[in-house]
Structure 1
């Protein structure tokens, strides 16, 4: 998921508006993201995430049309909550990047693939 999609999902979740990141909350934030996706459906999260990303690009360029501002206010009426979920989505992206994937087999009994990461990549024969 993109950061914008995570923001959309978190906004729709039960995450408290006054949420503040602290040590050990990453699993709970992931649960809230999944809850938001369940409530909205992935298609809506995907489309809304694209629109949020489009808004962010326009905002950086200083060229946000009034209809885009109206859409954003209609979709995310609570500005405080929006700021809170944007911070949480950004921190979640940062925290998920801390974990290096582990080499090993993935798949089930019908189809398995060995994925190699880090130092294991040069040791795997094709």
Structure 2
């Protein structure tokens, strides 16, 4: 029995588990970029039991853009939001944001879906590990692993 408690965690067995882990390790801004690029309908409205489909749309968006683009666009989108809150958005930043997210109605829908997804994923504790694809990966540390990651 004690050996069971000390057993190393294995990698996820199913693609649904892998998709959930990848989505958990992504930032909210990265999920927003991925959802915007996915087939999620612009008029989407959250309903009970839809979480797996939204996760599939996040994965689809990452597959379409590649994780490097999702990562970099997520950083830029988060930076834009901070500038907007501070009232310091430059013309270049506004132009970038409108070029990246031209459909305001779709962006509003995506942000609402991402907020609900974040709420639904709140039941899961994120597990440290890599997120990304074969060309670009980022290590995300959570919990006790945060202080063990070298700078």
Residue 101 of structure 2, aligned match among 48, 52, 76: 76
List gaps (5 residues or longer) in structure 1.
102-126
Report whether the alignment pairs 1:23 with 2:52. no
Return the offset for 1:22: 1.0
Instruction: Report which of the two structures shows the higher radius of gyration computed on alpha carbons.
Output: 1
CA distance in 2, matches of 1:67, 1:3: 23
Aligned-CA RMSD value: 1.5
Residue 34 of structure 2 is matched in structure 1 by 9
Per-residue CA distance 1:76-96 (angstroms, 9 max, x = gap): 110000111111111111110
Greater mean deviation of Cα atoms: 83-92 or 9-18: 83-92
Residue 92 of structure 1 is matched in structure 2 by 117
Residue 67 of structure 1 is matched in structure 2 by 92
List gaps (5 residues or longer) in structure 2.
1-25, 127-151
Residue 61 of structure 2 is matched in structure 1 by 36
TM-score, normalisation: structure 1:
0.77
Per-residue CA distance 1:33-73 (angstroms, 9 max, x = gap): 00000000000000000000001111111111111110011
After superposing on structure 2, the runs of 4+ consecutive aligned residues of structure 1 that deviate more than 4 Å are none
CA distance in 2, matches of 1:19, 1:81: 9
Q: Aligned residue pairs: how many?
A: 102
Question: What SS does structure 2 have at the residue aligned with 1:94?
Answer: helix
